[in-house]
């Protein structure tokens, strides 16, 4: 069916043909694979139409504009997490489709075409890394970190909004690729020469290049912002060694972002030059060398692993300490371990291609460097264990995720050390063993952490506790689903089954593929449980409000505000004199102090320019993908114009009058006075209004 | 039923490294078991301690100590830092010689003359040239059991990776470049070889049998191959270079330096460092 289709009106629509619409393809060739493709495209369109209809029906366009133009770090953080959850849903469904295909395609072509399957593993990986994990962790850092260090916003609120709009633009481009054209089949790492013009002349790799480029520029900006905020905006007395552990891991992650994202931007830019302007950086001929791509990509790719995992480590530190009602054990050790991981993460990238033919000495050095990272990571696990030791552990949902993480992550560490040993990597590289390993690190290490953080800080952000029961069901499904879906992949990898395989010719693999398929379905139930939990929590919101702000007997400053916190975070910037300022402060009866007088507070005004840059970035990317040069040129000019216009805006801040601050603060203090302090035994009941009992 | 399922499951592992059939793979399996044994000392304490401590120090247990301000102990710091460092040092001591020994570029001592094979990755098939014998095959690698096999690899297309799960590890094959791999097979038999680096539409089908034969059987196979009267000429190469799959094929003759020409034709000629790794490492 591969007939050549001629472009329609190329001056305007570039290389678009009718055949680029999945509906047309499904109409011409109605097999399961094309129908699934058309169905996915319909979901995107239906989702878009329903959103527009609801916004119109409930007259919420104003609210939407208010949010997307906001420079408030809290709103930006929430929007990041919202993007991440939407993208998570898509990528989980893709994973389930792939598992079903592999279970069905044993000695049989299965129901997905090979090409469709390849697009699925490429989008699944790209989305999970760039548009699920990155926005999720950036969002949580955005929301929580300024509150934890006693700041009123990020260092660069406008750049923060630009970063969000670029990431959002990248995510939208991923969604658009479902409806118009096709995605890359070159995997999330996009290795040339396969993704070069000679072997993939279609739009797929271009979608990948520009989506990733938008995301990586957004992340670089985000990293700079986070680092500067921590360096410059800590409250008086908040020395580095008094920062909550989550701030330390955020700092390390942001430093990694600043140094690791540029190599990716360079790699995708060079690949784009190859594809658009006939350069030969990574082509087979005329001096191109794909090994340079592999080095550049993993120079980003390995630190990226720690960009993803360190914030989760920070969340676990907060959660374990809070739900053990105990100081974090070995704070200094944890800081040192975090920093050690951050530095070492730049010294191990070659282990992603031990099999590229370099000398045994090079492989030895990188193998040993890789195993060395195991030491600080192991130290962290024990620090959490000793934090529970002599504590009073409460098995809340975030704590359950933390415990499951510790036990499961060690298995991933085990197989990670195996992969770090070059002779063993020669056997397991590129097999499902590797796939099992990195999912074993990222699902417990990253996703459980972010879900723990989501459950832990949700009441802070929205003033409502999430439903406990559905949280536990989701937790159980995530854990059972993970073990069922990924332990069989270790076996299959050890049996030599290559990754990215759409068809299986070895009947002996069948039982393991079935188990893995069942696991994927359980993970789908986990995702569904999260959706149910959110819906139930919204319905029951009035019973579970924690406006007073401290539902978990928290330790750090974010809990010392109302839930949700006021736009300015702190009416009076707190003074910090210890590592657990709020926990100690409320026990000394010093924290909930009503002031007689409040000052006016200046906060950043909303801005349309930052949003425009994201929209124009999306336009430029779409124009480049489809060779609609007019669109790309206009959009790039639009970005430049927005930057220039913004530089003329003088009135960037708005003042909240003292009377308004006072009114907000008095309302909160009245609520604090009215609330009943509760003990930890009833924290999951409606009696929890967010005021913790502090008598010993 | 369950027993049957478990039995079936073990059948899968027979296709992999745990059922090693050559000296390189045997080394690797031994190393795998040894490393796994050592790593149990990392895994077991965590798996025991996490549930034990979490449960013992649960809030509802009033029979345990509660020291909310206790957060540091030099003794524990020692327990936390020193054993992992010790284990990593131990593993590093193991890793160094093992990486040298199992380097795919290291030629193996074996019984008898080494067999030279030149592997070319195409979409979606493998071409194997026997320069010493003057024959070539597609999608089957016939080797004499016991004798060392020296493989040179390149790609006529995108990057691919040659994995022999039961015999050796894998090495990338890249256009315009030459990589190397050495292995031997213990006994006659048929084993799987495959490309593990995604290479496009029919990637999943890019698998081939490694047929290990006794000396006399191998000699007979060579004679048969030479007798097919079908040389690997321009026309045959053009057909192989098309993007498709194919069954096993045998060619009776190969033009001299064919492999080098493929490297040059796919970019090696304009490569300032064509095959430089092999030059750099010719000592091995």
CB contact under 8 A, B88 and A499: no
CB pairs under 8 A between A and B: 306
Provide the pLDDT for residue B282. 34
Query: What tokens does B219 get?
Result: 């000699």
Which chain A residues contact residue B276 at CB under 8 A?
A: none
Count the helix, strand and coil residues of chain A and give each as a percent rounded to the nearest 5: 70, 0, 30
Q: Kindly tell me the burial class for residue B8, based on how many C-beta atoms sit within 10 Å of its own C-beta (0-12, 13-18, 19 or more).
A: middle
Least Cα distance to A161 among A74, A71, A91, A227 occurs for A71
CB contact under 8 A, B172 and A356: yes
Provide the pLDDT for residue A591. 77
Query: What tokens does A384 get?
Result: 């959490």
Out of B51, B80, B277, closest to residue A357 by CB? B277
In this structure, what is the dihedral angle of CA atoms B240, B242, B248, B251, given to the nearest 10 degrees? -10
Domain count for chain A = 3
Minimum CA–CA partner of B58 in chain A:
A393
Q: A591: part of which helix (H) or strand (E)?
A: none
Provide the pLDDT for residue A442. 97
Out of B15, B95, B267, closest to residue A284 by CB? B267
Task: Give the C-alpha separation, A24 to A35, whole Å.
Answer: 10
Out of A324, A364, A500, closest to residue B99 by CB? A364
CB contact under 8 A, A359 and B280: yes
Which chain A residues contact residue B58 at CB under 8 A?
A: 392-395
- Examine residue A431 and state whether it is found in any structural domain, yes or no: yes
DSSP string, A198-236: TT--SSHHHHHHHHHHHHHHHHHHHHHHHHHHHHH-PPT
Q: Clarify whether residues A534 and A583 are in a common domain.
A: no
Q: Does the pLDDT of residue B275 top 50, yes or no?
A: no
Task: Find where tokens 């895994």 sit.
Answer: B43
Which chain B residues contact residue A395 at CB under 8 A?
A: 54, 58
Q: Which segments of chain A have a pLDDT < 50?
A: 1-3
Contacts of residue B234, Cβ cutoff 8 Å, sequence gap at least 6? none
Mean pLDDT of the B174-179 span? 95
Out of B16, B104, B198, closest to residue A496 by CB? B16
Contacts of residue B117, Cβ cutoff 8 Å, sequence gap at least 6? B128, B129, B130, B141, B143, B149, B150, B151, B152
- Examine residue A432 and state whether it is found in any structural domain, yes or no: yes
Identify the three-state secondary structure at position B182. strand
Nearest-CA distance from B223 to chain A in Å? 31
Asked whether B28 and A419 are in contact (CB, 8 A), the reply is no
Which chain B residues contact residue A371 at CB under 8 A?
A: 88, 91-92, 95
Task: Give the C-alpha separation, B104 to A182, whole Å.
Answer: 39
Nearest-CA distance from B127 to chain A in Å? 19
Instruction: Using a pLDDT cut of 70, give the percent of chain B over it.
Output: 91
Q: Does the pLDDT of residue B272 top 50, yes or no?
A: no
Task: Give the C-alpha separation, A181 to A187, whole Å.
Answer: 17
CB contact under 8 A, A193 and B96: no
Least Cα distance to A145 among A238, A246, A257, A71 occurs for A246
- Examine residue A50 and state whether it is found in any structural domain, yes or no: no
Q: Which residue, A514, A529, A545, sits at the end of a domain?
A: A545
pLDDT digits (tens, 9 = 90+) for A392-450: 999 999 999 999 999 999 999 999 999 999 999 999 999 999 999 999 999 999 999 99
Q: Does the pLDDT of residue B64 top 90, yes or no?
A: no
CB contact under 8 A, B99 and A360: yes
Provide the pLDDT for residue A475. 98
Question: What does the buried/exposed string (b/e) look like for A117-135 if buried means 16 or more CB atoms within 10 Å of the residue's CB?
Answer: bbbbbbbbbbbbbbbbbbb
- Examine residue A693 and state whether it is found in any structural domain, yes or no: yes
Residue B96 to residues A139, A368, B26, B92, B104: CA-CA distances in angstroms? 42, 8, 18, 6, 14
Identify the three-state secondary structure at position A42. helix
Length of chain A measured in residues: 696
pLDDT digits (tens, 9 = 90+) for B104-157: 999 887 788 999 999 999 999 999 999 999 999 999 999 999 999 999 999 999
Provide the pLDDT for residue A694. 86
Q: What is the DSSP letter of A110?
A: -
Out of A330, A332, A495, closest to residue B15 by CB? A495
- The average confidence (pLDDT) of chain B is 91
Out of A328, A395, A417, closest to residue B91 by CB? A417
Strand order in the sheet with B141-144: B141-144, B207-213, B189-195, B160-163, B170-173
Provide the pLDDT for residue B230. 95
Q: How many CB atoms lie within 10 A of CB A536?
A: 15
Minimum CA–CA partner of B97 in chain A:
A364
Asked whether A575 and A237 are in contact (CB, 8 A), the reply is yes
Q: Clarify whether residues A272 and A308 are in a common domain.
A: yes
Least Cα distance to A506 among B126, B165, B160 occurs for B165
Q: How many CB atoms lie within 10 A of CB B40?
A: 11
Question: Domain limits at A642?
Answer: 608-651
Asked whether A112 and A39 are in contact (CB, 8 A), the reply is no
Q: Clarify whether residues A213 and A164 are in a common domain.
A: yes
Task: Give the C-alpha separation, B120 to B262, whole Å.
Answer: 8
Provide the pLDDT for residue A364. 97
Which chain A residues contact residue B197 at CB under 8 A?
A: 191, 430
Q: Clarify whether residues A627 and A694 are in a common domain.
A: no
CATH 2.60.40.420 fits B115-280, yes or no: yes
Q: Clarify whether residues A612 and A586 are in a common domain.
A: no
Nearest-CA distance from A410 to chain B in Å? 6
Task: Give the C-alpha separation, A20 to A261, whole Å.
Answer: 32
Nearest-CA distance from A289 to chain B in Å? 9
Which spans in A105-156 are helix H?
114-126, 134-148
Vertex A611 angle, CA A608 and A614, to 5°: 150
Provide the pLDDT for residue B266. 86
Q: Does the pLDDT of residue B284 top 50, yes or no?
A: no
The dihedral of CA A119, A120, A121, A126: what is its sign?
Answer: positive
Provide the pLDDT for residue A683. 94
Residue to test with chain B: of A351, A426, A514, most B Cβ within 10 A: A426
Task: Give the C-alpha separation, B130 to B165, whole Å.
Answer: 22
Task: Give the C-alpha separation, A183 to A195, whole Å.
Answer: 11
Query: What tokens does A657 get?
Result: 């009058």
Query: What tokens does A109 get?
Result: 């072509």
State the pLDDT confidence band at B6, using cuts at 50, 70 and 90. low
Which chain A residues contact residue B198 at CB under 8 A?
A: 118, 185-187, 194, 499-500
Task: Give the C-alpha separation, A214 to A202, whole Å.
Answer: 20
Task: Give the C-alpha separation, B90 to B35, whole Å.
Answer: 10
Q: Which residue, A522, A545, A568, sits at the end of a domain?
A: A545
At A308, give phi and psi (nearest 5°). -70, -40
Asked whether B156 and B272 are in contact (CB, 8 A), the reply is no
Minimum CA–CA partner of A433 in chain B:
B16
Task: Give the C-alpha separation, A186 to A170, whole Å.
Answer: 18
Q: Clarify whether residues A268 and A324 are in a common domain.
A: yes
Provide the pLDDT for residue B278. 40
pTM > 0.90 = yes
Out of B68, B76, B105, closest to residue A327 by CB? B68
Q: Clarify whether residues A520 and A619 are in a common domain.
A: no
State the pLDDT confidence band at B268, using cuts at 50, 70 and 90. low
Beta partners for A653?
A: A604
Q: For A599-682, where are the E strands, in sequence order? A: 601-604, 653-656
Select the more confidently predicted residue: B8 or A584. A584
Q: Clarify whether residues A410 and A475 are in a common domain.
A: yes
Which chain B residues contact residue A503 at CB under 8 A?
A: 204-205
- Examine residue A11 and state whether it is found in any structural domain, yes or no: no
Q: Clarify whether residues A123 and A159 are in a common domain.
A: yes
Asked whether A327 and B68 are in contact (CB, 8 A), the reply is yes
């Amino acid at each position: 069916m591969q007939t050549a289709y001629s472009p329609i009106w190329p001056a305007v629509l570039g290389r678009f043909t009718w055949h680029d619409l999945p509906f047309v393809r499904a109409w011409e060739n109605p097999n399961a694979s094309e129908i699934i493709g058309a169905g996915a495209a319909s979901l995107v369109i239906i989702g878009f139409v329903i959103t527009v209809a609801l916004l119109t029906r409930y007259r919420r366009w104003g609210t939407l504009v208010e949010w997307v133009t906001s420079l408030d770090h809290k709103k930006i953080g929430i929007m990041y997490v919202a993007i991440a959850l939407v993208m998570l849903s898509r990528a989980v469904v893709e994973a389930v489709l792939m598992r079903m295909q592999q279970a069905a395609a044993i000695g049989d072509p299965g129901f997905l075409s090979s090409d469709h399957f390849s697009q699925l593993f490429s989008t699944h990986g790209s989305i999970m890394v760039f548009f699920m994990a990155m926005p999720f962790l950036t969002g949580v850092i955005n929301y929580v970190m300024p509150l934890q260090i006693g700041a009123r916003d990020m260092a660069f609120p406008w750049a923060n909004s630009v970063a969000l709009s670029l990431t959002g633009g990248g995510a939208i481009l991923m969604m658009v690729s479902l409806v118009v054209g096709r995605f890359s089949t070159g995997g999330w790492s996009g290795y040339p020469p396969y993704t070069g013009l000679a072997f993939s002349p279609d739009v797929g790799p271009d979608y990948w290049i520009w989506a990733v480029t938008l995301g990586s520029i957004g992340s670089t900006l985000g990293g700079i912002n986070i680092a500067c905020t921590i360096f410059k905006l800590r409250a008086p007395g908040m020395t580095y060694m008094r920062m909550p552990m989550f701030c330390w891991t955020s700092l390390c992650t942001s430093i990694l972002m600043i140094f690791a994202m540029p190599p990716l931007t360079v790699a995708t830019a060079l690949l784009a030059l190859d594809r658009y302007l006939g350069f030969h950086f990574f082509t087979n001929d005329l001096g191109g060398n794909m090994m340079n791509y592999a080095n550049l990509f993993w120079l980003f790719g390995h630190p990226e692993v720690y960009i993803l995992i360190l914030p989760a480590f920070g969340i676990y530190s907060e959660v374990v300490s809070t739900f053990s009602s105990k100081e974090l054990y070995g704070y200094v050790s944890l800081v040192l371990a975090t920093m050690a991981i951050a530095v070492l993460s730049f010294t191990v990238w070659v282990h992603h291609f031990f099999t590229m033919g370099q000398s045994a000495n090079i492989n030895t050095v990188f193998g040993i460097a890789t195993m060395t990272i195991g030491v600080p990571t192991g130290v962290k696990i024990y620090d959490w264990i000793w934090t529970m030791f002599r504590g009073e552990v409460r098995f809340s949902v975030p704590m359950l995720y933390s415990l499951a993480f510790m036990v499961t992550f060690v298995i991933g560490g085990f197989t990670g050390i195996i992969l770090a040993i070059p002779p063993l990597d020669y056997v397991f590289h590129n097999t499902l063993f590797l796939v099992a390993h990195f999912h074993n690190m990222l699902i417990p290490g990253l996703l459980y952490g972010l879900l723990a953080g989501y459950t832990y800080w949700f009441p802070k952000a929205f003033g409502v506790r999430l439903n406990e029961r559905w949280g536990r069901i989701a937790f159980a499904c995530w854990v059972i689903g993970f073990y069922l879906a990924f332990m069989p992949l270790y076996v299959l990898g050890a049996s030599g089954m290559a990754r990215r395989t759409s068809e299986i010719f070895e009947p002996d693999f069948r039982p393991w593929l079935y188990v893995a398929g069942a696991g994927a379905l359980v993970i789908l139930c986990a995702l569904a449980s999260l959706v149910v939990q959110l819906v139930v929590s919204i319905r029951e919101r009035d019973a579970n409000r924690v406006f007073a702000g401290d539902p978990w007997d928290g330790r750090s400053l974010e809990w010392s505000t109302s839930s949700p916190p006021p736009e300015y975070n702190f009416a009076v910037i707190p003074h910090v004199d210890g590592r657990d300022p709020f926990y100690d402060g409320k026990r000394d009866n010093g924290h909930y102090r009503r002031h007689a007088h409040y000052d006016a507070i200046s906060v950043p005004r909303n801005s349309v320019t930052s949003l425009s840059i994201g929209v124009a970035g999306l336009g430029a990317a779409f124009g480049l993908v489809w060779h609609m040069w007019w669109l790309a040129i206009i959009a790039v000019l639009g970005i430049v114009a927005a930057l220039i216009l913004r530089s003329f805006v003088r009135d960037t801040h708005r003042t909240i009058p003292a009377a308004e601050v006072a009114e907000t603060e008095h309302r909160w203090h009245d609520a604090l006075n009215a609330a009943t302090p509760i003990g930890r035994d009833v924290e999951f009941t409606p009696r929890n209004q967010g005021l913790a009992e502090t008598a010993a | 039923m369950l027993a049957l399922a478990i039995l079936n499951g073990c059948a899968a592992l027979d296709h992999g490294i745990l059922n090693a059939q050559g000296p390189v793979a045997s080394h690797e399996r031994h190393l795998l078991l040894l490393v796994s044994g050592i790593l149990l000392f990392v895994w077991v304490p965590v798996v025991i301690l996490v549930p034990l401590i979490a449960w013992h120090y649960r809030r509802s247990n009033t029979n345990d100590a509660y020291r909310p301000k206790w957060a540091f102990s030099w003794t524990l710091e020692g327990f936390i830092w020193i054993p992992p460092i010790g284990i990593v040092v131990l593993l590093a001591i193991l890793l160094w010689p093992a990486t040298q020994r199992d380097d795919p570029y290291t030629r193996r001592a074996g019984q008898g003359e080494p067999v030279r094979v030149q592997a070319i990755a195409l979409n979606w098939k493998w071409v194997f040239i026997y320069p010493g014998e003057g024959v070539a095959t597609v999608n089957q690698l016939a080797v004499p059991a016991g004798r060392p096999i020296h493989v040179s690899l390149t790609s006529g297309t995108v990057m691919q990776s040659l994995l022999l799960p039961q015999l050796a590890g894998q090495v990338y094959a890249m256009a315009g470049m030459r990589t190397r791999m050495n292995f031997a097979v213990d006994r006659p038999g048929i084993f799987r070889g495959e490309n593990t680096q995604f290479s496009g539409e029919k990637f999943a089908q890019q698998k081939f049998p490694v047929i290990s034969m006794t000396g006399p059987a191998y000699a007979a196979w060579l004679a048969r191959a030479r007798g097919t009267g079908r040389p690997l000429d321009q026309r045959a190469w053009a057909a192989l270079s098309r993007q498709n799959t194919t069954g096993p094929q045998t060619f009776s003759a190969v033009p001299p330096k064919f492999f080098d020409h493929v490297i040059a034709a796919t970019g090696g000629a304009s490569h300032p460092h064509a095959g430089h790794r092999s030059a750099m490492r010719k000592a091995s």
